[in-house]
Structure 1
């Protein structure tokens, strides 16, 4: 189990994490510290608890927006996939009609050739 020291709003915290997750945890702590720092500049030093609460709410809002965007993009991908599959079906139908037409045209040409040879 890894142990990482992080700093949020100029306070140090020791946080346990899984082995190999230390760098990721430090990155997350820097991101959170950035939000807390921005809030402290905006509303002042209203206490660590309140700043962390506000930062948590802002991050939850970002997360919620990201989830909505993922849902929207997932729906768009599904729609595009269905449209693509539909187009492939139409393409196959056109190919089948073209094959049938070409076969009929070849038969007519053969009949004409036979008629010309017989004359």
Structure 2
């Protein structure tokens, strides 16, 4: 297990992570740190713990927004959509075709 020292605001935190996960942990801390100044202002006299909570909530809010976005259009999805429309069109044409005498 690796120990990574992270600095968020004015405080350092020693956090354990699996070996090889150090860079990802640092990236996660950097995202929290990005929101730290805004959270610190919003927390007023609430202290560092409240600011850290607000920073985490800001990040969680962004995560919720990302999760609610529709998935990106992939070439496969577009091709499947075109194929579906074509098959529906052929089925309609076959249903509406009058038999010849």
Same fold (TM over 0.5): yes
Which structure would you say has the larger RCO, counting Cα contacts within 8 Å and 6 or more residues apart? 2
> Which stretches in structure 1 are left out of the alignment for 5+ residues?
94-119
Show the counterpart of 1:98: none
RMSD (Å) for aligned C-alpha atoms: 2.8
Normalising by structure 1, report the TM-score: 0.61
Q: Give the distance between the partners of 1:45 and 1:13, measured in 2 at CA.
A: 22
Show the counterpart of 1:48: 48
Q: Give the distance between the partners of 1:43 and 1:81, measured in 2 at CA.
A: 50
Q: 1:51-98, CA deviations, whole angstroms, 9 ceiling, x for partnerless residues? A: 1111121111101100001xx126x558635422225648xx6xxxxx
Match of 1:85 among 78, 83, 86: 83
Show the counterpart of 1:16: 16
Q: How many residues align?
A: 89
* Structure with the bigger percentage of helix: 1
Show the counterpart of 1:32: 32
Q: Give the distance between the partners of 1:81 and 1:45, measured in 2 at CA.
A: 56
Normalising by structure 2, report the TM-score: 0.70
Q: Give the distance between the partners of 1:79 and 1:68, measured in 2 at CA.
A: 19
> Which stretches in structure 2 are left out of the alignment for 5+ residues?
91-101
Q: Give the distance between the partners of 1:43 and 1:12, measured in 2 at CA.
A: 19
Of the two, which has the highest radius of gyration? 1
